[in-house]
Structure 1
Amino acid sequence: MQRFFAKKLCDGNTIKHNQMMTVDDGKIHSIESAQFPGDAIQLSGLVAPGLIDVQVNGGGGVLFNNQPNLDTLITMSRAHQQYGSTAIMPTLITDDLVTMQLAADAVASAIAQNVKGIIGIHFEGPHLSQPKKGIHPTQHIRQISPEEMALFTRKDLGVVCVTLAPENVPVEIIQELVQANVKVCLGHSNASDTQTFAALQAGAQGFTHLFNAMSPLQSREAGMVGAALFDASSYCGLIVDHEHVDMTSCKLAIKCKTHSRIMLVTDAMSHVGSEQIELQFAGMQISRKDNKLTIEGGRLAGSALDMASAVRNCIVDLQCTIQEAIYMASSTPATFLGLQQQKGYLAPGCDADWVVFTDQYYVNATYIAGEQVSAQTIPNIQNN
């Protein structure tokens, strides 16, 4: 039995002081008020539930699409652990079927071997809208096939999330995916609000990077953005790097959806946790300048954001409370993924996954299953 003492702790809902956590076999056994006994491990800073990122394309200098193997997943997870992410959904950008199968096999291997931080896979495409494709390769955007359905419904991949454009996927297919416990997100789409509501009715649960690469809210057309903001039960990923979404739009989204339905995501490329500036992907060169990634012509190409920075941006720039920001980075994604009994909170029975923040909301240390996996690191380049 391990013992950890936190002078300040956010359990997912409230902030408490002078808390003793006991950990047994990677799970929290108890949390109770106490005075520091001297023989416990003292956690210096604000202790909060580990951050959960449902959209991670890469990290540590590697991109999942370019190297869809187990070593890449280990590198990605370790890179993001530096910034408080104790669980990530490795995300495959639109690609060919062979690459998709290799990515799935890598995730299955990571889960079978209990690789820390890997909890599933997010297929962002390939069943998207050409007009809203972003940097997704045109040649790989296609209709859904039986081979892809078989891939999405594998039972050895942990949590599976699929981003699709509802105007290009029949509602019957969305229903079939949902019945197979796939988390269906809507995005990279030019759908009308009617098409979007039909997909939600069929069981789609979320929206991928709200506002970005989707039909906008307009005076005579609500679009996918309008439907997402109006619908009370769905979840929305939000990239709070001040490059993808205007700050007022971020505040509007949180006001409409509340912190229990907005989940902070990074959409991180390989640059996070590395000194990388240039990245080759699908014949495109993605360049980093400060905290912005673009291809030739200035189009955004993923992000250089980390989850700790997303939390900090919400607190400092969006005037969210500490609890709200942490909730959107941990509890909300945990609930979206159906893991709220294990992750997203610090309570007896939950996984002993937590992050220790400094007073400025940088990361002092990250713990997974009660073991420290990362100590204080140099901030991501974007923060310099």
Structure 2
Amino acid sequence: MLIKNGLVFTEKCRFEHLSVLTEDGVITGVLPAYAMIKYGGEVVDASGCYVVPGLTDIHFHGCAGHDLCEGTAEAISSIAEFEYSQGVTTICPATMTLPDEDIAEILRTAGEYTKNSADKDRAKLIGVHLEGPFISPEKCGAQKKELIQPPSADKLRAWQSISGGLIKLVTIAPETDGAIECIRQLSGSMRFSLGHTSCDYDTAVEAFGAGADHITHMYNAMPPFNHRAPSLIGAAFDTAGVFAEIICDGVHVSETAVRAAFRLFGDDRMILISDSMEAAGMPDGEYQLGGQRVSVKGNRAVLSDGTLAGSVTPLADCLRTAVKMGIPIEIALKAATINPCRSIGEDKKYGSISVGKAAHILLLDREDLSLKAVYTR
């Protein structure tokens, strides 16, 4: 396939007039627009469009009426189909705080899915994010407090084996018993994100020193960034190489706080996530998240006590919202493509339009960023 006449978002994270060649699902050429190409295959005219990498969501629970925690291949397939339709071509969905046997079954199913699924017109499952059960009861958010448990390296090793190596990211509260040692033991085989935590600055710094390199949905379920107590956000800012997730749905974080986050962490460390639950892409009504009832109206999803319960906004809409909030399109795209792939070690194959990488390519309208086409061939 030859994609021509569009503005291509390059691996240098800027737009250039280029043509892109793909074959059998791999990018085989990124060429100057004026280059004379003799090509007899399918030609796509991308006039009026940005040509960008497929998006990657490393933190969401579900969509289209399904949740990863259903633990079935059918649920994963439905989630992957919806995400693809929204321009998300690689996914690392998240579990919740659940009983051990449920987590094990979810991971087993996900591992089997990657072996047996056909990825045609579906996002590719490249990992699983364990958002529980190793979190703080004081900052549990929409997760079940009674099922929270202390971190266990042995348990994570067992779950990783069950999943076939699919666990890419683990949210952990570093102040809990055994958390730092757990990070120290396993940070070479999976990534750790500090979140759902009440930790102070020093504890966070210690955890980053042990090998953690993320923070989970910045601002949410963590102490505030205070001028005398900089807490987790301050520690992440001070530690080079730490990624910061953020939910730009217009509900979880204010416009000013979004702009401040991008200023603090810069364009190499920010990651846009959706944190969407099963109601994304569905009408208002009653849904569930982690076994708890969730009421959805408009773009808000809440528990009965008013606690925010994930979002109902797909990642592509979070990208558009970030741009409307004043984040330059190049920086917002970087935060939804190459940065999440880098953060879970999948950037050699995904996340940018580069020769040799998977041909996951979107056409976005240059006026309103609406999705015009998704290609993975």
Q: Give me the TM-score of the superposition, normalised by structure 2.
A: 0.91
1:11 counterpart residue number? 10
Amino acid at match of 1:33: P
1-structure distance, mates of 2:284, 2:32? 44
Mapped contact 2:5–2:33 kept (Cα < 8 A): no
Give the aligned residue type for 1:177.
Answer: L
Of the three residues 72, 82, 103, the one matched with 1:100 is 103
Q: Residues 214, 258 of structure 1: CA spacing in aligned structure 2 closer, same or farther, 3 A cutoff?
A: same
Q: In the alignment, does 2:276 pair up with 1:295?
A: no
SS at match of 1:287: strand
Aligned residue identity for 1:68: G
Could you tell me how far 1:122 is from its partner in structure 2? 0.6
Is the counterpart of residue 40 in structure 1 residue 43 in structure 2? yes
Q: 1:278 to 1:302 in 2, by over 3 A?
A: same
Distance in 2 (CA, whole Å) between partners of 1:263 and 1:74 is 24
Query: 1:189 pairs with 197, 205, 208, which one?
Result: 197
Residue 93 and residue 283 in structure 1: after superposition, are their counterparts in 2 closer, same or farther (change >3 A)? Answer: closer
The residue number in structure 2 matching 1:381 is none
How big is each residue's C-alpha offset from its partner over 1:146-192, in whole Å with a ceiling of 9 and x where there is no partner? 3343213557243521101001133221111112x201111000011
The match for 2:337 is 330
Q: Which runs of 5+ in 2 are unaligned?
A: none
Say if 2:77 is the partner of 1:68.
Answer: no
Q: Verify: 1:356 aligned to 2:363, yes or no.
A: yes
Distance across 2 between alignment mates of 1:284 and 1:68: 16
Kept in 2, the 8 Å contact 1:153–1:182? The answer is no
Q: Are positions 1:79 and 2:82 aligned together? A: yes
Match of 2:180 in 1: 171
Q: Quick one: distance in 1 between partners of 2:59 and 2:172?
A: 14
The answer to whether the aligner puts 1:152 opposite 2:169 as a matched pair is no
- State the Cα RMSD in Å: 1.9
Return the alpha-carbon distance in structure 2 between the equivalents of residues 304 and 138 of structure 1: 23
SS of the residue corresponding to residue 105 of structure 1 reads helix
Percent identical among aligned pairs is: 25
Q: What are the superposed Cα offsets for residues 217-260 of structure 1, whole Å, 9 maximum, x if unpaired? A: 22332211221233231001100112111111111110111111
Runs of 4+ in 1 over 4 A off after TM superposition: 35-39
Partner of 1:238: 246
In the TM superposition, residue 283 of structure 1 has moved relative to its aligned partner by 5.2
Q: Secondary structure at the match of 1:334?
A: helix
Cα displacement (A) at 1:364 = 1.3
In 2 relative to 1, CA 115–156 (structure 1 residues): closer, same or farther, beyond 3 Å?
farther
The match for 2:323 is 315
> Following the alignment from structure 2 to structure 1, what is the Cα–Cα distance between the partners of residues 291 and 27?
47
Task: Give the secondary-structure state (helix, strand or coil) at the position aligned to 1:106.
Answer: helix
> Which range moves more in the overlay, 131-140 or 170-179?
170-179
- TM-score, normalization by structure 1: 0.90
SS in structure 2 of the partner of residue 55 of structure 1: coil
Instruction: Compute the displacement of 1:196 (Å).
Output: 0.4
Q: In the alignment, is residue 133 of structure 1 matched against residue 140 of structure 2?
A: yes
Residue 22, structure 1, aligned to residue 21, structure 2? yes
**226, 229, 234: which one pairs with 2:237?**
229
SS of 1:56's equivalent in the other structure is coil
Give the partner amino acid of 2:129: H
Q: Tell me, in whole angstroms, the C-alpha distance in 2 between the residues paired with 1:4 and 1:26.
A: 13
Cα deviation, residue 287, structure 1: 1.3
Could you tell me how far 1:282 is from its partner in structure 2?
4.8
Give the deviation of 1:306 after TM superposition: 1.1
Q: Which moved more, 1:244-253 or 1:157-166?
A: 157-166
Q: Which amino acid aligns with 1:64?
A: L
* Residue 380 of structure 1: aligned partner: none
* Structure 1: tracts of 5 or more residues without a match: 371-384
Cα contact 1:61–1:276 (8 A) shared by 2: no
**Structure 1 residue 41: deviation in Å?**
2.4
SS of 2:4's partner is strand
Does the C-alpha gap of structure 1 residues 48 and 283 become closer, same or farther in structure 2, counting only changes over 3 Å? Answer: closer
Please report how far the alpha carbon of residue 143 of structure 1 lies from its aligned counterpart in structure 2 after TM superposition.
1.3
SS in 2 for 1:328: helix
Is contact 1:187–1:213 with CA below 8 Å preserved after alignment? Answer: yes
Is the 1:311–1:326 Cα contact (8 Å) retained in structure 2? yes
Q: Which moved more, 1:223-232 or 1:89-98?
A: 223-232
**Over residues 255-288 of structure 1, what are the superposed CA-to-partner deviations in whole Å (9 max), with x where a residue is unaligned?**
1111110000000101122335311345532111
In 2, are the aligned partners of 1:230 and 1:256 still within 8 Å (CA)? no
Q: How many residues align?
A: 364
Q: How far apart in 1 are the matches of 2:166 and 2:371?
A: 27
